[in-house]
Chain A
Amino acid sequence: MESRSRRVKVAYRAIIFLLLAFVFCLSSFDLSPSSRAAQPQSDQNQIEAGRRVYLGSCGMTYCHAAGGIGGGGPKLRDRDFTPEYLTHLITEGVPGTSMPSFKESLSKQQITQCVAFILSLSPRKGAAKPNSDPQPQSNASQPQAQTIDTHLSGAAPKTETAPSPTPEPVKSNVAINDTFDIRGDVEAGRSLFFDSAETRNCRVCHTSQNRGGHIGPDLTEMARRPPREILLAIVAPQAAIDEKYATITITTRAGEKFTGVKRDENETMIRLFDTSTLPPVSRAFLKSEVAKTERLNTSAMPADYASKYSFKQLLDLVSFLKSSSVSFKELF
């Protein structure tokens, strides 16, 4: 009797061991949605996902229209695209035309899905083409084809990989003292920087992360500066003036004076951004009508942001500016 119960106990232990082993194996398959997404999608899922991306970004009649039939933009169906070509075009866009770059608004995966959808609109290579018309394909159904044709003349590399996506801005805390109550909010700072309803906000003159004006310096690289220095640059702009954006005054022969940041000049003309009004107005002068041009040792930036913004708003701005560079992640 005792040996049988002992065998039963061994059997039970074995079963339990096998069960545990099974459970352990199962748990090593992470079935969470995020990991499911990372697995390669089936072709059909890929195309369906791509159809949704296409709908949101490409399918307007002003662009490529439903089903890729073409509207304001060229048709995408019944074409002979390679995946690399499409990926490049969608990622980089075609500057100088209405085709934007989607690298900031779509993820790599979304672009891949969209490419799969667009390719599904054309017959597979090797299969009989649906249109066996012996006439050469004319530009008939794509009156604006000349834009895509110039690009097809070898401009797009076929093996270039899509660029890596820009890092997500991270919520930051610029407080030096951990017990300090007021903390900067990156998103609040971003809204303040870019609020288009305000004529004095930073984006009127400055760019950050590829958006904004070009009258003052691009502030994307401010992220590398210490927070104190950024704050000072906002509230006391006279303390350190960037040479390239020095203020000048132009006096015309008619006696009018204009002060602002020099924009550019060539043999016959000089332009400056008149910062006496916001948004600044670029003014062009024939050199023959200029009596004198003087460099001023002042910054064209308004010097009253300390009173215009609350301390919290200033911290928010600093936080936003600190978040804009990859170096932020390296430092923190």
Chain B
Amino acid sequence: MWRRIAAEDRPRLQLHILLASILIAALALPVVAQEPSWARLINSDREPQNWMSYGGNYAAHRFSALDQINRDNVKQLMPVWMFHTGELRGGLNSTPIVVDGVMYLMGPMNRVFAINAETGEKLWSYIYKLPRISIPYQPGSRGLAVAHGRVYFGTLDNHVVALDAGTGREIWDVEVEDVRQCGCNITSAPLVVKDKVIVGGTGGEHAHRGYLNAYDAKTGKHVWRFYTIPAPGEPGSETWDPRMLKYGGAPTWLVGSYDPELNLLYWGVGNPSSDFYDEFRPGDNLYSNSIIALDPDTGKLKWHYQEVPHDMYDFDSAYECALIDYEKDGRKQKLLVHANKGGMTWVIDRATGKYVNAWPHVDILTWLKGVDKNGRPVGMQPVPPGKETFVCPSAAGGRNYDHSAYNPRIGWWYNIGWEVCNVIRPEKLEVKEGQPLFGGSMDMKPPKEKPAYGHINAFDPLTGERKWRYNTTGMNLASLLATGGDLIFSGDVMGNAFALDARTGQKLWSFKTGAGMSGSPISYSVNGRQYIAFPTGMGSLLAGLVPLLWPETANKIPEAASTLVVFALPETTSKGAAANGK
């Protein structure tokens, strides 16, 4: 056949065959999945069917725009599938991630799963091999990150690992620091910013120098480290006794936020070590109990805002930084709304770090009389060593990592409060690198003349004006989820998943899942059906406090579990209602 083609035509035909072969080969090559890309991640609000990062978006709103489930039909919610991680130690206190119909779930003891988000069928599992050492803080982890075709997570022995998102096979693994040396590890989700995986670490209760680290998402190379305790000579170092440099704590144990227009990475920093005994560390102890704003490309500090200088109560500033664009009377403000563990919420300008407002989100506070014009606490309650002092709220917090939620359509910020106090007794203890340095003891107590209580509130994020309050069972340890159907979802310590009307706080639905909740519910949709997923099974360090403060629950506390329970409207309802996804 080749001979029948004219000689002068052969070169052109050869070229066409060559090009066709290349095209066929390119199509036949496996498609390298690089999803979700950075562009998709930072614009996740355009994809309400997915929940692509820890905080729902990079502004930590924990808001799903889906509205198929709403205040009128939420009573019909029913469980549609469940998933058990198979590991009870550490319960399930993570935030699942959903991308394009696949759910990625971080289980306790660093078990990672990919699950069909519609059917609950396991797609792959990966168990990170933990060495037989003691695990600081807790065996649970609060989540993972999915980006660039990979799943990224931090481990209980202080490593960062990347897996292939399609198959679950390991790609790279890098040690942050020997866990036995620092007494620190990673119990939170990484935050992917552009081409970097940014990871916080635990450590406020151990003698260790806190840090935030960034690794190259593709290669795992260490790109930058920001120490939360400045070195001698650096600005802020004058706020410490220099001998505490390597032992001062100030960890970054939760997850930050990112503003793409300002190109600022925000992270909350926890308490200084020797939590109650403060004579090791005269001075403000920067950057403990601060919000830090870093350049995500270099790790350099742009500004900081310290909420609790010279902490004596274990009042971390580690919680989520909710980035809220607030508009009132024609004036727009770029705010950062931040709950501190001491029961106060600080509001700052997220471009400049300047103080805007501060207001209490709990009823009972003894540790400060107020704040000055820069938001600095005044009249901080002294806690003398060797003596007992009654302080409210407790070192467990005016709330803990049970995250807030923001509904941009209503404009309200929803936050949990715990009215629990403690008796603090500071003591001078030996300082040794990587060893515990709690600085004394704390004994949890109800407020004076009242039983302990807890609540969920809707607030104006700037003024702190409360719109409604819902009284919770005990202290609510699970995060809040706000949805476009004007609902707030959460779960309580007795195992009840529930939904509140976002405008009134009235409870509209509940379901007894059978296991106490301390994780973070999410919402997503697949093929036009909206789902709400609740991690159940406690896994919180504070679980033991519940029967102590609410003795009526002592015999009724649910047993251990580690199960994800997923709800949806019955099929007939979800097909009939307006779908808001693919």
Stretch touching chain A among B34-42, B169-177, B329-337: B169-177
- Are the CB atoms of B538 and A143 closer together than 8 Å? yes
Quick one: closest B residue to A73, CB to CB?
B544
Residues of B within 8 A of A66 (CB): 441-443
Q: CA–CA, A245 to B246, complex, Å?
A: 32
Tell me if A166 counts as interface (CB < 8 A to partner B): no
Tell me if A169 counts as interface (CB < 8 A to partner B): no
- Are the CB atoms of A213 and B178 closer together than 8 Å? yes
Question: What is the distance, in angstroms, from B4's C-beta to the closest C-beta of chain A?
Answer: 39
Residues of A within 8 A of B171 (CB): 283-284
Tell me if A62 counts as interface (CB < 8 A to partner B): yes
- Are the CB atoms of B438 and A69 closer together than 8 Å? no
Quick one: closest B residue to A56, CB to CB?
B429
Stretch touching chain B among A78-86, A90-98, A155-163, A299-307: A90-98
- Are the CB atoms of A100 and B175 closer together than 8 Å? no
Residue interface bits B363-400, CB-to-A below 8 A is 1, else 0? 00000000000000000000000000000000110000
Q: CA–CA, A210 to B180, complex, Å?
A: 8
Residues of A within 8 A of B545 (CB): 61, 71
Stretch touching chain A among B59-67, B409-417, B457-465, B554-562: B554-562
Question: What is the distance, in angstroms, from B554's C-beta to the closest C-beta of chain A?
Answer: 5
Residues of A within 8 A of B427 (CB): 52, 55-56
Tell me if B358 counts as interface (CB < 8 A to partner A): no
- Are the CB atoms of A95 and B132 closer together than 8 Å? yes
Residues of B within 8 A of A271 (CB): 170
Tell me if B17 counts as interface (CB < 8 A to partner A): no
From the candidates A56, A140, A280, name the one contacting B557 in the complex (CB within 8 A): A140
Chain A positions 229-249 with a Cβ under 8 Å from a chain B Cβ: none
- Are the CB atoms of A139 and B559 closer together than 8 Å? yes
From the candidates B139, B444, B560, name the one contacting A61 in the complex (CB within 8 A): B444
- Are the CB atoms of B181 and A196 closer together than 8 Å? yes
- Are the CB atoms of B547 and A284 closer together than 8 Å? no
- Are the CB atoms of B170 and A284 closer together than 8 Å? yes
- Are the CB atoms of A96 and B543 closer together than 8 Å? no
- Are the CB atoms of A281 and B173 closer together than 8 Å? yes
Quick one: closest B residue to A100, CB to CB?
B134
Tell me if B436 counts as interface (CB < 8 A to partner A): yes
Residue interface bits B428-462, CB-to-A below 8 A is 1, else 0? 01101101101011111000000000000000000
Assess A140 versus B181: contact at CB under 8 Å? Given A66-B442, A99-B134, A279-B222.
no
Residues of B within 8 A of A94 (CB): 134
Tell me if A72 counts as interface (CB < 8 A to partner B): yes
Q: CA–CA, A75 to B548, complex, Å?
A: 11
Assess A70 versus B169: contact at CB under 8 Å? Given A61-B442, A99-B134.
no
Tell me if A144 counts as interface (CB < 8 A to partner B): yes
Specify which of A98, A142, A212, A213 lies most central, judged by the most chain B CB atoms within 10 Å of its CB. A98
Q: CA–CA, A144 to B559, complex, Å?
A: 9
Tell me if B542 counts as interface (CB < 8 A to partner A): yes
Residues of B within 8 A of A199 (CB): 222
- Are the CB atoms of A194 and B181 closer together than 8 Å? yes
Chain A positions 38-82 with a Cβ under 8 Å from a chain B Cβ: 52, 55-57, 59-62, 65-67, 69-72, 75
Quick one: closest A residue to B133, CB to CB?
A95
Residues of A within 8 A of B396 (CB): 61
Residues of A within 8 A of B440 (CB): 55
Question: What is the distance, in angstroms, from B423's C-beta to the closest C-beta of chain A?
Answer: 8
Residues of B within 8 A of A142 (CB): 544
Question: What is the distance, in angstroms, from B54's C-beta to the closest C-beta of chain A?
Answer: 22
- Are the CB atoms of B441 and A146 closer together than 8 Å? no
Q: CA–CA, A147 to B134, complex, Å?
A: 13
Tell me if A269 counts as interface (CB < 8 A to partner B): yes
Question: What is the distance, in angstroms, from B156's C-beta to the closest C-beta of chain A?
Answer: 9
- Are the CB atoms of A98 and B139 closer together than 8 Å? yes
Chain B positions 156-182 with a Cβ under 8 Å from a chain A Cβ: 169-178, 180-182
From the candidates A98, A141, A284, A286, name the one contacting B134 in the complex (CB within 8 A): A98
Quick one: closest B residue to A284, CB to CB?
B170
Tell me if A322 counts as interface (CB < 8 A to partner B): no
In the complex, given contacts A56-B429, A62-B138, A72-B138, what are 17 additional A-B residue pairs having Cβ atoms less than 8 angstroms apart? A52-B427, A55-B427, A56-B430, A61-B442, A61-B542, A62-B137, A94-B134, A96-B135, A98-B135, A140-B547, A140-B556, A141-B554, A143-B543, A196-B182, A210-B180, A283-B171, A284-B169
In the complex, 19 of the A-B residue pairs with CB atoms within 8 angstroms, ordered by the A residue number, are A61-B442, A61-B541, A62-B137, A69-B544, A98-B136, A135-B555, A141-B548, A146-B88, A196-B177, A196-B246, A197-B227, A212-B178, A277-B221, A277-B222, A279-B176, A279-B222, A280-B174, A281-B173, A284-B171
